[in-house]
């Protein structure tokens, strides 16, 4: 696995079809807590207690309370240079797909246009009876009387099947596949980099530490995404 940023940049800029997979690490420098890091969300809260359908069934108010707390934390966060570098990369690429595991909405806030939120959105709610989604306005119940729930994918729940198909199609077609700020522990998103590599893409990983995905990467660039992504994306460097 190579660590040469200049060579990674040359191959990235030559690629006509680019796919990017991001995780919580891309929002870390915006002040959004990651899941599994030292200050990780899940050090304080056990996911079994909160981010799953059974917990919601048992105590919807408590689960909503946790998501409201996260909304409060993230409402004050601004996109960082990593998000903005991906906006620039999308602008200069003929074919660009951004797949994010994040639910914070910071890619869209930064100006990214073609974003697939694989795990849903912290800012949207869904009727548990009708399945219709809406912007989350703090309402707990749908007009039909059923509970509203966060429009996110909990463990044990399937991702949107169209989005999964689109993601694997993009990974297979990509000439360059960037993996930024994800621990690579959560399936099925963590399968995408290896699929991209199997189909001939140049896989470039940016992370502050190696991950289980690093063995599938052609390049591993160690460091904060907010520092490395702008260097990787810069054309005049």
> By the criterion CB under 6 A, which residues form the site for ligand BV8?
23-25, 28-29, 34-37, 40, 51, 101-103, 119, 152-158, 181-183, 185-188, 206-209, 211, 224-225
Helix pair angle (5-14, 225-233), 10° resolution: 50
Task: Pull the structure tokens for residue 157.
Answer: 């729940």
128: exposed, middle or buried (C-beta count within 10 Å: 0-12, 13-18, 19+)?
middle
CB of 212 to ligand BV8, least distance (A): 10
Quick one: 6 or 187, whose CB is closer to ligand BV8? 187
Quick one: 37 or 60, whose CB is closer to ligand BV8? 37
Identify whether the C-beta of residue 119 lies closer than 8 Å to the C-beta of residue 152.
yes
CB of 17 to ligand BV8, least distance (A): 24
CB of 35 to ligand BV8, least distance (A): 3
Quick one: 19 or 102, whose CB is closer to ligand BV8? 102
C-alpha 102, offset from chain centre: 4
Q: Nearest residue to ligand BV8, using CB? A: 25
3-class state of residue 23 by DSSP: coil
CB of 213 to ligand BV8, least distance (A): 9
Catalytic residue among 13, 83, 107, 119: 119
Q: DSSP letters of 150-217?
A: EEE--TTSPPPHHHHHHHHHHHHH-SEEEEES--S-STTGGGHHHHHHHTTPEEEEEESS--TTGGG-
Contacts of 227 (CB under 8 A, 6+ apart): 81
Identify whether the C-beta of residue 99 lies closer than 8 Å to the C-beta of residue 192.
yes
Quick one: 35 or 96, whose CB is closer to ligand BV8? 35
- Our answer to whether residue 119 is catalytic in this structure is yes
Quick one: 17 or 45, whose CB is closer to ligand BV8? 45
CB of 153 to ligand BV8, least distance (A): 4
Of the candidates 66, 155, 170, which has an alpha carbon nearest to the alpha carbon of residue 119?
Answer: 155
The catalytic site residues sit at 119
């Amino acid at each position: 696995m190579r660590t040469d940023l200049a060579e990674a940049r040359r191959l990235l800029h030559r690629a006509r079809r680019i796919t990017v997979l991001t995780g919580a690490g891309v929002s870390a420098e915006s002040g959004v807590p990651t899941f599994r890091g030292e200050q990780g969300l899940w050090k304080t809260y056990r996911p079994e207690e909160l981010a799953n359908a059974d917990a919601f069934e048992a105590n919807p108010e408590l689960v909503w309370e946790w998501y409201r707390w996260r909304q409060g934390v993230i409402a004050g966060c601004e996109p960082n240079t990593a998000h903005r570098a991906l906006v620039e990369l999308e602008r200069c690429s003929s074919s660009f797909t951004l797949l994010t595991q994040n639910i914070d909405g910071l890619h869209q806030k930064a100006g990214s246009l073609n974003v697939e939120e694989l795990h849903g959105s912290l800012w949207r709610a869904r009727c548990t009876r009708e399945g219709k989604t809406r912007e989350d306005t703090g309402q707990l119940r749908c007009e039909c009387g059923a509970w509203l729930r966060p429009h996110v994918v909990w463990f044990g729940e399937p991702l949107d099947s169209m989005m999964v198909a689109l993601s694997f199609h993009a990974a297979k077609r990509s000439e360059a596949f960037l993996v930024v700020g994800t621990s690579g522990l959560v399936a099925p998103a963590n399968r995408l980099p290896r699929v991209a590599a199997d189909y001939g893409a140049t896989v470039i990983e940016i992370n502050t530490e190696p991950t289980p995905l690093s063995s599938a990467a052609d390049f591993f660039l160690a460091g904060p995404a907010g520092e490395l992504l702008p260097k990787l994306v810069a054309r005049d460097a």
